[in-house]
Amino acid sequence: MTHTDSAPPEIRQDIDPALRIDGLTVSYGGASVLFSVDFEAPVGSMSVIVGPNGAGKSTLIKAVLGIVPRISGDIKLFGLPLSANRHRVAYVPQRASIDWDFPACVADVVAMGLYQELGLLRRYTADHRERVREALDRVGLQDFAQRQIGQLSGGQQQRVFVARALVQNADLYILDEPFAAVDAATERTLAAVLQRLVLNGKTVLCVHHELSTAADYFSHAMLLNVRCIAYGAIQDVFTPEALQETYGARLSVEQLDRIRHSLAGRASPS
Amino acid sequence: MNEFTSNLLSALTLRAGFNSALVCIGAALLGIAAGSVGTYALLRRRSLASDAAGHATLPGLVIVFILLSWLSGDARWVPALMLGAACSAAVGLASVQLIHSRSRLPEDAAIGIVLSVFFGVGIVLMTVAQNLQTGQQAGLAAYLLGSAASMLRNEAQLIAAAAFLLSLVIYALRRPLNLVCFDPDYARVQGLSVQRMDLALNILLLTVVVISLKVVGLVLSVALTIIPAVAARFWTDNTRHMVTVAATLGGAGGYIGAALSSSTENLPTGAVITLTLFSIFLASLLLAPARGVLATLLRHLSFRRRVHRRQGLLALYRGEPIYDGLTLKLLRKAAWIRRDGVATPAGAIAAQRAARDEQLWTLLRKRHSSNKLARQYHQLVPIRHVLSEDALHELERELQARASEDQGQEEDHGRH
């Protein structure tokens, strides 16, 4: 474990972290998918979970969100268990996880993010409609509110999911592969949306498949391969040794160079 | 007018006697409740669970029947029979859940096991019941395929009350049901218990099945929940509307089916309602405007013709030869080309216009790139339908200016 304390100045250490994981273990059948994972995402950080295929990245966030059960471990969101802080967490699942032929339009799906406020019977007011419109505006889908979701491109579907998280007005945003198989325009839009959230004091945690671009977007990182190899500020975590330990022989020299280069690019202006 | 049609007409207008009217209204209310519950069952991919529930009612029904005839001699006390049916259907659904969650078997396999075993047990028990000395076994057989003709006033009232209650519950649970159907993981993160919602949906399905026993029978009760919902899917892309449409189609199917079966002797109500619902489904499949088969086919054919016409005109404009049979046929039909393939004066004008439209589109898309414009362009919408007259004039002026600029440059180039 190479946890370091050299966080950027805007991160406050005196308050509870947005997410703290202690000794999380999840198993399917007899084998651990995650083993004794520790992690901390400070408030206002933009964190990324990276690791090879089968490292348990999606399982980790599903365990954090109570979608898959855990064998052991403790999870605190802003110092409290999930059940007490549900309204402060927004989840963006993988786009491929649902049937897009479902009878709903874009605005219907985004309005699902309001469920915790609306409950069973509270009225869906003009104010709610306005918030849905605004969320769509932020991801650049304002013209698509009434479109059937099956007619959207992959990138647009991803934006709908992000808009559904935005409308919730949460403090911690957890995204599962938000940039997977989307067009370059969507990746730019979404990265800008997430960066703006962080500027407004929100916390973002993503699973990200592309190791070489992780350093472009994120301030904090966790290297995961069933066990947590390292976590903390990204420039401290992305050391050649730790990356090699995470990916084994799968990491090419070119990839390492590219990461070193983009980390150097981050360091120079500041 | 023959006897059947006059019977049917009086049944449809509720003038065929008290009992027939009772059956028609009961079946309609049942269809409404089943249609709305069935929509969520379909969206949650649990349609077949209602088939399992239907078949699993039989053992409970027969056991209560045997107990009643031992205890009181009158084995047709409806509330007790329905309670027995509900209990054994609940055991059936719980078994499906148990098999599915405790083994790695898929749910449809679990449904297959439960459905056949419970039905088998029920049939064996029925043989036992046949040997009892009550003389009321015919009443039991009516629950297999439905026998609405023998419906009593209090049975119709029970259906009405249950249908009303079901509609209220569906309305109250519409948001969580919607969330769980669309994305169960997300629903869980929002604090919903997916298990509890599935249980609620199971109870709703079970209630529909139990109140439908007398009308359609346990074998065909699944038709009431599945068919209106799948038919409704053709008419709308919105879950809330889908519930309303399915309820309407289910109600209409129940009403018309019950009227049909009461107009002739010996037509089993359940089968007739099922066939009526199937006709509604078939009509929806073929005729629905957005998702129906005919509309899709017509849209495809008409777009194909537009593409061929446009390609043909652009080829004419560029003076390229046309070989495609359909293109030639369409251009000839519009009198744009002669038999020998040479453009007519009208064809030349149309070709010019098509080329101009294409140029204007190219220019417009260079200036504004929006998804909406791109879609309209790929749908071959003429540009004058997209822009206001002023905007179009401005665009045309710009095109003119660019063309003369290009010409000027070319002349400059030639001079040097």
Query: Could you read off the pLDDT of A9-55 as tens digits, one per residue?
Result: 455 556 789 999 999 999 987 888 999 999 999 999 999 999 988 88
Confidence at residue A269, expressed as pLDDT on a 0 to 100 scale: 45
How long is chain B? 416
At residue B362 the predicted structure's pLDDT band, cuts being 50, 70 and 90, is confident
Confidence at residue A266, expressed as pLDDT on a 0 to 100 scale: 67
Between A39-43, A215-219, B33-37, B235-239, the lowest mean confidence (pLDDT) is in A215-219
Domain ranges of chain B: 3-288, 295-415
A124 has a chain B CB within 8 A of its CB: no
Nearest CA in chain B to A106: B238
Min Cα–Cα distance to chain A from B297, Å: 18
Q: Chain A partners of B176 at a C-beta cutoff of 8 Å? A: 115, 120
Confidence at residue A2, expressed as pLDDT on a 0 to 100 scale: 45
At residue B265 the predicted structure's pLDDT band, cuts being 50, 70 and 90, is confident
Nearest CA in chain A to B169: A120
CATH architecture of the domain covering B3-288: Orthogonal Bundle (1.10)
**Greater confidence, B14 or B183?**
B183
- Neighbouring CB atoms inside 10 A of B302's CB total 10
Question: Residue B134 pLDDT more than 70?
Answer: no
DSSP result, B153-193: HHHHHHHHHHHHHHHHHHHHTHHHHHHHHH-HHHHHHTT--
Nearest CA in chain B to A150: B237
Q: Chain B partners of A103 at a C-beta cutoff of 8 Å? A: 43, 233, 236-239, 241-242
Distance in angstroms (rounded) separating the CA atoms of residues B1 and A244: 88
Q: Report ipTM for this prediction.
A: 0.88
Q: What is the pTM of this model?
A: 0.85
Q: Do B188 and A66 touch (CB under 8 A)?
A: yes
Confidence at residue A9, expressed as pLDDT on a 0 to 100 scale: 46
The backbone torsions φ and ψ at residue A90, rounded to the nearest 5 degrees and listed phi first, read -120, 140
Most A CBs within 10 Å, among B36, B46, B182, to test the A interface = B182
Distance in angstroms (rounded) separating the CA atoms of residues B241 and A104: 10
Question: pLDDT tens across A105-164, in order?
Answer: 999 999 999 999 998 888 899 999 999 999 999 999 998 999 999 989 889 999 999 999
Confidence at residue B396, expressed as pLDDT on a 0 to 100 scale: 86
Confidence at residue B255, expressed as pLDDT on a 0 to 100 scale: 94
Confidence at residue A251, expressed as pLDDT on a 0 to 100 scale: 73
Question: pLDDT tens across A205-252, in order?
Answer: 999 888 878 888 899 999 999 999 999 999 898 888 888 888 887 777
At residue B389 the predicted structure's pLDDT band, cuts being 50, 70 and 90, is confident
Nearest to A120 among B175, B242, B371 (CB): B175
Residue with tokens 């003038």: B15
Q: Give the closest residue to B202 by CA, choosing from B100, B122, B65.
A: B100
Question: CB burial class (10 A; 0-12, 13-18, 19+) of residue B265?
Answer: exposed
What Å distances lie between residue A67 and B101, B184, B202, CA to CA? 16, 9, 22
In whole numbers, what is the pLDDT of chain A averaged over residues?
87
Please give the helix or strand (H or E) that residue A48 lies within, else none: strand A46-50
Min Cα–Cα distance to chain A from B190, Å: 6
Question: Residue B111 pLDDT more than 50?
Answer: yes
Q: CB-based contacts of A242: which residues, under 8 Å, 6+ apart?
A: A2, A223, A229, A230
A105 has a chain B CB within 8 A of its CB: yes
